[in-house]
């Protein structure tokens, strides 16, 4: 087994999320395992966010402390690649992992939902899905350690409710406290770096390299230059960019063309000063000696093939 992993399933279709899996060490199917979860790419304005779950036999947990794992942010890219390449071989042969790559499109669409759904909720749901998938694959997870997203106590309580048979610990800086979380951190960072370095722009006639757009963090001069030079005043940016970031919103507000949506011809214009109609307005008494006047339907009702009833007694027909 080797950690050599083909990421083309995502690279060739970067608007669709994808979960990648290492080969499962046989011991992980027989013995209880410890698992760690961490992410890479939460802060950048460009590219995906990657969540990874690493697992290792609980009986050999002490061995993890002797390996080279550390918070991926404290390691050079070369060192991370070196460690990642060892997973599945020699003293690293009992480590397995899963990693979910969340596309910039998913991140933006999630945060733009009409019902509130922020990055923390997306992170929670991704971590939950990784634990569930590992269990479905037969990995005998017993303990899970995670870096916190939002208040640690609330996140931990949420996970314990969903996985009552597991021992779960959510901590600040878990990637520097628990080697198994450090392992997940390395996996997530290496996979994100590879995807960003080899990004394929799906928009026609767009060809850039990492030298053009940098790390993707808003403070990176190369990223700033990329965003400044590649704004379409009408359509905004390529799908490589997270539209939900405040950095992008500020640029669009300042430099993009303001677009207004026209109302359809058969729809009445909305007058803001006009008070909202009460539902009781649709209950109109009809004088038996008078011919009922035809009421012009509100666009909302018309689109749904609904008609106003003449009296509350009409409810008996439903």
The reply, when asked if residue 262 is annotated as ligand binding, is: no
Residue 156 buriedness (CB in 10 A; 0-12 / 13-18 / 19+): middle
Q: Which residues are bridge partners to 19 per DSSP?
A: 100
Residues forming a β-bridge with 145:
36, 169
Query: Would the annotation count 266 as a binding residue?
Result: no
109 three-state secondary structure:
helix
Cα separation, 10 vs 114, whole angstroms: 27
Q: Is 147 annotated as belonging to a binding site?
A: yes
Distance CA 147, CA 140 (A): 21
Count of CB atoms within 10 A of residue 233's CB? 10
H or E segment and range at residue 100: strand 96-102
d(CA 258, CA 265): 22
Rounded to whole angstroms, how far apart are CA atoms 132 and 297? 49
Q: Which residues are annotated as a binding site for a divalent metal cation?
A: 38-39, 147
Q: Which residues are annotated as a binding site?
A: 38-39, 147
């Amino acid at each position: 087994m080797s950690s050599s992993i083909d990421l083309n399933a995502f690279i060739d279709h970067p608007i669709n999320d994808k979960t990648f899996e290492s080969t499962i060490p046989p011991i992980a199917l027989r013995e209880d395992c410890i698992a760690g979860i961490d992410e890479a790419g939460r802060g950048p304005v460009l590219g995906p966010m990657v969540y990874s779950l690493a697992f290792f036999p609980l009986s050999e947990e002490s061995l993890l402390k002797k390996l080279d794992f550390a918070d991926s942010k404290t390691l050079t890219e070369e060192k991370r690649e070196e460690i990642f390449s060892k997973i599945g071989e020699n003293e690293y042969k009992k480590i397995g992992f899963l990693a979910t790559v969340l596309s910039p499109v998913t991140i933006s669409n999630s945060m733009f939902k009409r019902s509130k759904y922020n990055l923390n909720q997306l992170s929670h749901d991704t971590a939950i899905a990784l634990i569930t998938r590992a269990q479905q694959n037969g990995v005998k997870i017993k303990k899970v350690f995670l870096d916190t997203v939002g208040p640690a106590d609330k996140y931990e309580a949420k996970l314990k409710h969903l996985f009552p048979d597991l021992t779960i610990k959510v901590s600040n800086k878990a990637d520097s406290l628990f080697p198994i979380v450090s392992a997940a951190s390395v996996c997530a960072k290496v996979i994100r770096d590879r995807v960003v370095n080899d990004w394929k722009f799906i928009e026609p006639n767009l060809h850039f390299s990492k030298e053009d757009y940098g790390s993707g963090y808003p403070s990176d001069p190369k990223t700033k230059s990329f965003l400044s030079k590649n704004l379409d005043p009408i359509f905004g940016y390529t799908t490589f960019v997270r539209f939900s970031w405040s950095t992008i919103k500020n640029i669009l507000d300042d430099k993009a063309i303001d677009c207004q949506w026209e109302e359809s011809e058969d729809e009445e214009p909305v007058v803001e000063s006009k008070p909202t109609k009460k539902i009781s307005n649709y209950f109109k008494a009809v004088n038996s000696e008078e011919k009922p006047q035809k009421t012009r339907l509100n666009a909302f009702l018309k689109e749904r093939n609904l008609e106003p009833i003449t009296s509350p007694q009409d409810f008996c027909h439903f």
